[in-house]
Amino acid sequence: MADSKELLTKLSDASTESEFFSPIPTGYKKGKTKYVFVMGTVMSGLGKGIFSSCLAKLLQDKGLKVAPIKLEGYLNIDSGTLNPFRHGEVFVLDDGMETDMDLGTYERMLDLDLSKANFATSGQIFSSVLNKERHGDYLGRDVQMIPHVTGEVKLKLRQLAADSKADVVFVEIGGTVGDLENAYYLEAMRELAYEEGPHSSCFVALTYILEPPALGEQKSKAAQLGIKQVMQLGIQPDIIACRATNPVNEKARQKISIYSNVPFERVVSLHDSASIYMIPSMLREHGLDFEVLRLLKIEDRINLRHERKAWARWCDFTDRIGTARYKSTIGITGKYTSVRDSYASIINALEHAGIALGCDVGIEWIETTDITDKNAAERLASVDGIIVPGGFGSRGAEGKIACVRYARESDLPYLGLCLGFQMAVIDFARNVCKLKGAGSTELDPKCAEPVIDILPEQKKIEGLGGNMRLGGRDVEIKPETVAWNLFGGKDSVRMRFRHRYEVDPKYIETLEAGGLVFSGKAPDQPIMQILELPDHPFFMGTQAHPCLTSRPLRPSPMFVGLVAAATKRRHAQVDLPDCIEAVKQVAGLA
């Protein structure tokens, strides 16, 4: 207790005499790190994360070190308990933090592995403040939203700056300006910018330009009112990015410029784009990268040689978008309607694989509740490959198993992700190894042959009640298998996990005797993590989520393998490479 008090006194101005409270972490150098704050007005869902990550990428290409952080308004400590069909997918970081899907956008765009330092929720901020209060860290003060809660937010941002040694920290504030739950974040941003001084920070407001079909013209009033709300908080935006369906015309931009004191050239159109990977070049055409450098006075820190190379590599990638020569359709067994956000990483990983292979990948969502062995052929007739993605609970499980069986028996390329890996084990146990009662205790706690189960060892290792195995783990790859070839002959690869159940080791021998190959496992533990069938064009399952680590320029080999096999099946008349050959060619490209 004495220690933490001492530390905080040293770090801050906290005292009963002072109204200031701005703890500065050790090692923090004022002026070294600059801040870009990205906020949204008018409505949510504007793509703040996409904008922020694309702008960060342009600075990263110039040789600057960037560190993003997303500030969430909700009171949950992490996103682990959020329903993905309401809030988008839960994105798991290497350190096991369960975050918002925007962190996936940052990882993909910046090709960085992020950590819990890059993600905060109101739950985390308040719990930290309350813990400090119980430790007596506030020295007799009444603990207030300002300066203590805002002080905690500033501390988190400065901590990230100090630890990452970033030139620029990109701060994305979740929600919309005007929400009660993020108001204190915006206040903290204002305070931080003030404390850090001129040229320390750049405020970007995203807004939305309406274009009602009945009027046929763009209307900027809602955007003006949204910006007005920002200014009422004492924040002067430096850049306004206007989201819209179509390019925002000069008139609308001029109106916003006059109204907001933001120079016309910094009121830019950020209209819809076919691929988010085209947005960096849109921002570049608007000159936003150099505007930010000038606003932050860091033009002298950039390396233009670095940028030339990075940009050329990026353009090699984006030039391939929309030029596909082949087509394939991947069926994904998804159980709800608002599936796009719930499966964001899978959709991205398919896009990366498709672009790398010159294949336009279409997605067909498959509801499995009424699929059986009898109608699977008919229901899957239009797809060239199938993914059974991760999931929890028993809904549609038998239908998924029927899909796996059909894929296995009719050479339809298959990729099972986490739950999909488990479904593949169940199908194989039931239909090849003849363990009729094979199942998973998650789906049927009383099943006769629980090939998938929570294991006692895991309960011991992972904590009482069998908590999830979360985050990045090394996976040992069996030499000479398909997985080993896909991973370029590496004996170990790092993958991300989020599961509770796994193959019960006592069934491994039976499954292998039946012909199933476990090509990836946990080092030193009998935890099976990748499975494959040698005599199938592509049949693979993994207990991990390879979609979480697929990057535009480094697509996931498993997804490339699936899409290559599906494309080969679709274009049977062309002599296309098999999955292993295709992955090798892509690796040469990347």
Query: Letter for the amino acid at 500?
Result: R
Query: Letter for the amino acid at 477?
Result: I
> Any contact of residue 47 with ligand GLN (CB under 6 A)?
no
Q: Name the residue whose CB lies closest to ligand GLN.
A: 390
- Residue 80 is encoded by which pair of tokens? 């682990």
How many residues bind ligand GLN, per CB under 6 A? 10
Q: How far is the CB of 403 from ligand GLN (least distance, A)?
A: 15
Residue recorded with tokens 């990230």: 160
Spatial CA neighbour of 209 closest among 51, 41, 49:
41
Q: How far is the CB of 440 from ligand GLN (least distance, A)?
A: 8
**What SS3 class is residue 348?**
helix
Of the pair 57, 500, the CB lying nearest ligand GLN is at 500
Of the pair 33, 345, the CB lying nearest ligand GLN is at 345
Is the CB of residue 573 less than 8 Å from the CB of residue 329?
no
Q: How far is the CB of 419 from ligand GLN (least distance, A)?
A: 4
Of the pair 52, 543, the CB lying nearest ligand GLN is at 543
Stretch that binds ligand GLN, among 158-166, 337-345, 496-504, 518-526 (CB under 6 A): 496-504
Stretch that binds ligand GLN, among 132-140, 212-220, 315-323, 492-500 (CB under 6 A): 492-500
> Any contact of residue 396 with ligand GLN (CB under 6 A)?
no
Is the CB of residue 416 less than 8 Å from the CB of residue 385?
no
Which of 91, 277, 314, 501 is close enough to bind ligand GLN by CB under 6 A?
Answer: 501
Q: Which residues contact 477 (CB under 8 A, 6 or more apart)?
A: 483, 484, 487, 490, 491, 492, 493, 519, 520, 530
Q: How far is the CB of 499 from ligand GLN (least distance, A)?
A: 3
Q: How far is the CB of 418 from ligand GLN (least distance, A)?
A: 3
Which of 442, 449, 453, 532 is close enough to bind ligand GLN by CB under 6 A?
Answer: 442
Rounded to whole angstroms, the Cα distance separating 205 from 148 reads 26
> Any contact of residue 498 with ligand GLN (CB under 6 A)?
yes
Which of 379, 499, 521, 570 is close enough to bind ligand GLN by CB under 6 A?
Answer: 499
Q: How far is residue 85 from each of residues 82, 120, 335, 340, 442, measured CA to CA in Å?
A: 9, 21, 10, 9, 20
Stretch that binds ligand GLN, among 237-245, 281-289, 360-368, 387-395 (CB under 6 A): 387-395
Rounded to whole angstroms, the Cα distance separating 65 from 85 reads 34
Residue recorded with tokens 């209209």: 271
Which of 376, 419, 477, 579 is close enough to bind ligand GLN by CB under 6 A?
Answer: 419
Of the pair 194, 392, the CB lying nearest ligand GLN is at 392
Which of 297, 375, 392, 489 is close enough to bind ligand GLN by CB under 6 A?
Answer: 392
Is the CB of residue 173 less than 8 Å from the CB of residue 71?
yes
> Any contact of residue 414 with ligand GLN (CB under 6 A)?
no
Rounded to whole angstroms, the Cα distance separating 244 from 210 reads 7
List the interface residues with ligand GLN, window 310-369 (CB under 6 A).
none
Q: Is there a cis peptide before residue 280, judged by omega within 30 degrees of 0?
A: no
Of the pair 200, 550, the CB lying nearest ligand GLN is at 550
Q: How far is residue 371 from each of residues 333, 378, 401, measured CA to CA in Å?
A: 11, 10, 9
Which of 36, 64, 380, 418 is close enough to bind ligand GLN by CB under 6 A?
Answer: 418
Task: Count Cβ atoms below 10 Å from residue 326 Cβ, excluding itself.
Answer: 19
183-196 vs 150-164: helix axis angle to the nearest 10? 60
Q: Exposed/middle/buried for 300, CB within 10 Å: 0-12, 13-18, 19+?
A: exposed
Of the pair 224, 543, the CB lying nearest ligand GLN is at 543
Which of 49, 390, 396, 557 is close enough to bind ligand GLN by CB under 6 A?
Answer: 390
Of the pair 220, 342, the CB lying nearest ligand GLN is at 342
Q: How far is residue 443 from each of residues 126, 394, 401, 558, measured CA to CA in Å?
A: 37, 5, 12, 26
> Any contact of residue 500 with ligand GLN (CB under 6 A)?
yes
Rounded to whole angstroms, the Cα distance separating 40 from 71 reads 12
> Any contact of residue 453 with ligand GLN (CB under 6 A)?
no
> Any contact of residue 391 with ligand GLN (CB under 6 A)?
yes
Of the pair 314, 497, the CB lying nearest ligand GLN is at 497
Give me the residues that bind ligand GLN (CB under 6 A), please.
Answer: 390-392, 418-419, 442, 498-501
